[in-house]
A and B are shown apart, each in its own frame.
Chain A
Amino acid sequence: MLLEAYASAKQDEIHTDVLLQARQACYKARDAFYSCLEKHSDKKPTEIGSVGLLYPTECKPSREDYVKNCRVSWVKHFDRQYCKTKRTQRLLDDKETRRGV
């Protein structure tokens, strides 16, 4: 009973975009994009990515590469994580400029 109910769903398609090679490609594109962001961090960010991540136009090609190689939900996940680490870094580095503490 279990098997028939399960077999009725589509069984043959495999999502290859989460297998090892696809994952590696995605990580590589992601790292390239973020390093581009670091490199051009002094430039004014004008483009908007997902979940509020801003990036300068110089990084547009790497952004496109990144989005192409990874799933949309993964892009959002990594962007959110990146914003969070940036924010905590900013909080930690901001020690000198805080008043009164």
Chain B
Amino acid sequence: MPISRFIFFSAKRRFAHASNLLPRFGSSKRIQSCGYTKSAKNNYYKKPTGHPVVNVETQASRSSGAYIIPPILLGFGGLLAFLHYNDERRAVKIGKDSYTGSDTAAAPIIGGPFTLVNSENQIVNEQDFLGNWVLLYFGYTSSPDIGPDQVRIMAKAIDTLESKENLKVLPVFVTIDPQRDTPAQLRAYLKEFDPRIVGLGGPVSAVRQMAQEYRVYFKKVEEEGDDYLVESSHSMYLIDPKMKVVRCFGVEYNAEQLSKEILKELKKHQVNA
């Protein structure tokens, strides 16, 4: 009697356990287990002879096997079905045209508002450049070789674009050395390259804020009192009329390549607009 009672209780526990773990199971399992418990209950009232014990035992072992394998199989199948459905949902269908409406997310969004002083000692902010294409270069007048080269390339590219393609791009030179590059200094320096280049400087905090917005790295090196070099990335930014940074050009571009690339960007923008 105690044996059958133990088996009955264990069967009941297993049934409860099963129902907790596998809720998705339909009523079929429960009916089966109900059948098992019912038979166990029936056995409880019978006299515990050898046969019923054996019967209950085999029933108990069959129930444990039956409890474990089908749920696992069904669970696995369910997982596969879920993954397949997820893949189908996430995949971009073949033949659907490329990612439209998201070319803004192709690169990190850099740029932002700024307020600086130009070489005529006037306050300038980004609103003044809206509506123009801008080629922006962060440099400093005391650069030994790369700075002047870059400014020269910039001036030549702007000139090529204006004379050959009749496209006006405004060149802007922002100094990353505002302590030494006063507006007068900027004016004298840039005048030698091209009168169209706008020189911007200002207090160190304003320049630093703009450099942060445009992710420009700059650092004073080789410092010997007032004589130092400024290490920076020496790259030019092409900005569209809505003040959004379209492209970044490094030092590897010469004047013709630069003008060609800028022309490409302008044409692309005209198609999109």
Contact = CB atoms under 8 A, between A and B. Distances in A.
Contacts of B117: 2-3, 6
Interface string A26-51: 10000000000000000000000000
Main secondary structure of the interface of A (DSSP, over half): helix
Nearest to A80: B222
B189 A72 contact: no
Nearest to A81: B145
Contact of A14 (B179, B188, B224): B188
A6 B121 CA distance: 9
B227 interface: yes
A4 to B, nearest CB: 10
Interface string B56-83: 0000000000000000000000000000
Interface residues of B, number: 28
Interface stretch (A15-23, A52-60, A83-91, A93-101): A15-23
Contact of B184 (A2, A12, A20): A12
Contacts of B171: none
A14 B188 CA distance: 8
A11 B214 CA distance: 27
B148 interface: yes
B271 to A, nearest CB: 40
28 contacts: A2-B117, A2-B123, A2-B202, A2-B203, A2-B206, A3-B123, A6-B117, A6-B203, A11-B184, A13-B184, A14-B182, A14-B184, A14-B185, A15-B141, A15-B142, A18-B141, A18-B143, A18-B189, A20-B192, A70-B144, A72-B224, A72-B227, A73-B222, A73-B224, A73-B227, A73-B228, A77-B145, A77-B229
